[in-house]
Structure 1
Amino acid sequence: MIIYPTIELKNGKCVSLTRGRMDESAVWHVDPLEFARGFAQAGASWMQITDFNAIDGDNSNVALVEEIIRAVGIPVQVGGGIRSIEAAERWIDRGAGRVVIGTAAVKQPDMVRKMAELHPDQIVVAVDVWRGRVLTDGWREESMFAPIPFLRSYADTPLAAFVVTDVDADVEDIEVGASEMSVLAASTRHPVIASGLVRSLDDVSTLKYAGHCDGVIIGRALFNKSVDLRKALAIAVPQVEEIAAFV
C-alpha cells in the first residue's frame, strides 16, 4: 500500500478542510516547500498537492506548486481545477507525475477518457462521495451518480488510479469507513487510493488489512502530528510471508 503524504494549498498556505468544506479550513503555519521536502526525507515514494485556489480558477499557487515539484525529488500527484486536456498537459509538462481530475470526470467523461488515452497511467480520477452521491465543483454540487456505477463507467479507461473520499465520513469509526472503502475498491480493477480516513497509525493498519486499497492519502494527521510519516510508511510495506521448505 502506497502512502501519499498530502499538502492542500490555499492562498499559498497549507490548510486542511473540515469535511470538505472550503469555508472551514484550518491553516498550518509551516513552509509548504520545506514540509514537502520532509516527505521525501522520510522515505515517501509519492506525494500529492491539491490547489484549492485553482478550483475557483485562481492561479496564484502555480509558482509554488511548480517549485515543490522541482524540489522534492519524488513524483508529485497534482490536483485542483484541472478540467481540460490542455490544463492536464500543462502540469505534466511542468513535471507532475500524475494529475487528478474531479469535476471534469463527472461532467466531461469523454474528454477525460481521451485525456487518459493520450497520457496512460498519468490521469487519476477523484471520486468525492457524500450521502451516496459523487460530488463536483469543490464538493459544492451533488451529481446524479452513485459511486460504484461511476467507478465502473471508467472500466476500460487507462487511468492511473481513483482517489476516493467519503466527504462526510465518520472517521471516528474507522472499521466502518475501511469496510465501505474496501467495497468500493473491490468494484473496480483500477487502483484505489483512500482519502479522509486516517487520524492515527492504527488507521493505516486497518486500511492495509481491510484489503483492496492500493494507497492512502494522509494530510491533516501529518500536520497535527497524530501520525508519524516514517512509521506510517513502515506499516504500509507489504509483509513477506515465509515460504515453507520442502525436502
Structure 2
Amino acid sequence: MMIYPTMEIQNGRCVTLEKGRLDEPQIWHVDPVETAKGFAAAGAEWMHLTDFNAIEGDHRNEELVCRIIRGAGIPVQLGGGMRSREHVEHWIDRGAGRVVIGTLAARDPHLVKDLINHHPDQIVLSVDVYEGQVMTDGWRHAGAISPEDFIAAFDSLPMAGIIVTDIDSDMTDLEAQLGLISSLAKKSRTPVIANGVVRNADDISRLKYIYNISGAMVGRALYRKTLTVEKALAVARPEPEQVAEFQ
C-alpha cells in the first residue's frame, strides 16, 4: 500500500482543517519546501499537496506550489481548485505528477472524461462524501449524485486512482469511515486512496488488508507527531509470506 504524506497549504503556510472549515485552520510552523524534502528523505515515493487558497480561486500560492513540485524530490499529487481544462493542463505542464479533480467532474463530466483519456494515469478523482452525497466546492455544496454513481461514471477510464473522504464521520468513529471507504473500494475497478482515516500506525495496519485500497493519505498525524513517515511506510509494506520448510 502506498503512503502519501500530505501537505495542505493556505496563505503560504502548512495547515490542517477541521471538517474542511477554511476559516479555522490549524497552522503548523514548518517550512513547506523543506517539509516536502523531508517526506522524500524518509522514503516516501509520492506526496499529496492541496492548495486551499486555490479552492477559493485565489492563486497566491502558485509560486510556492511550483517550488514544492521542483524541490520535493518525489512526484506530487496536486489538488485544489481544478476548475477548468486550462488549469488542469497548466499544472500537468508545470510538473505535477497527478492532478486531483472533484468539483469539475461533477459539473462537467464530459470534459473530465476527455481529460482522463488525454492524460492517462495522471488524473485522480476526488470523492468527498457527506450524508451519502458527493460534496463539491471545497465541501460546501452537496451534489445530486451518490458516490457510487459518481465513481461509476468514470470507472472505465484510465484514472490514476480515486481519493475517498468521508467528511461526516468523526475521527473517533473509525469503523464508520472504514465502512464507507471499503464499500466504495469493493465497487470500484479503479484503486482507491483512503483519506482522513489515519491517526496512528494501527490504522494503516487495518487499511492495508481492505480490498482495493491502494494507498492512504497521512497528514495531521505527521504534524502532531503521532506517526512518522518512516513508521507509516514500514507498516504499509506487505507482510512476508511464510514459506514451509521441507526436510
TM-score by length of 1: 0.96
Shift of 1:243: 3.8
Q: Which residue of 2 aligns with 1:138?
A: 138
Q: Provide structure 1 residue ranges, at least 5 long, that are not aligned to the other structure.
A: none
What are the residue-to-residue correspondences of 1:29-108 with 2, within 5 Å?
Answer: 29-108=29-108
What are the residue-to-residue correspondences of 1:1-247 with 2, within 5 Å?
Answer: 1-244=1-244
- Indicate the percent of aligned positions where both proteins have the same amino acid: 53
User: Deviations for 1:73-123, whole angstroms, at most 9, x for unmatched residues?
Assistant: 111001111122211111111111000011001111000000001100000
Structure 1: how far apart are the matches of 2:240 and 2:176? 27
Shift of 1:207: 1.1
Structure 2: how far apart are the matches of 1:182 and 1:99? 23
What is the one-letter code of the residue matched to 2:98? R
SS at match of 2:14: strand
SS at match of 1:21: coil
Structure 1: how far apart are the matches of 2:246 and 2:34? 51
Structure 2: how far apart are the matches of 1:61 and 1:14? 11
SS at match of 1:112: helix
Structure 2: how far apart are the matches of 1:22 and 1:102? 17
What is the one-letter code of the residue matched to 1:142? A
SS at match of 2:59: coil
After alignment, is 207-216 or 155-164 more displaced? 207-216
Shift of 1:244: 3.9
Shift of 1:223: 0.6
Shift of 1:245: 6.0
CA contact (8 A) 1:127 1:162 kept: yes
CA contact (8 A) 2:133 2:145 kept: yes
CA contact (8 A) 1:178 1:206 kept: no
CA contact (8 A) 1:132 1:147 kept: yes
Shift of 1:8: 0.4
SS at match of 1:214: strand
What is the one-letter code of the residue matched to 2:100? V
CA contact (8 A) 2:166 2:180 kept: no
SS at match of 1:127: strand
**Given the superposition, is the C-alpha separation of residues 31 and 241 from structure 1 closer, same or farther in structure 2, using an over 3 Å criterion?**
same
After alignment, is 237-246 or 128-137 more displaced? 237-246
SS at match of 1:138: coil
SS at match of 1:149: helix
What is the one-letter code of the residue matched to 2:138? G
User: Deviations for 1:205-238, whole angstroms, at most 9, x for unmatched residues?
Assistant: 1111233211000111111111111001000011
Structure 2: how far apart are the matches of 1:8 and 1:172? 22
After alignment, is 80-89 or 36-45 more displaced? 80-89
TM-score by length of 2: 0.96
CA RMSD of aligned residues (A): 1.3
Q: Provide structure 2 residue ranges, at least 5 long, that are not aligned to the other structure.
A: none
Q: Provide the aligned length of Structure 1 versus Structure 2.
A: 247
SS at match of 2:117: helix
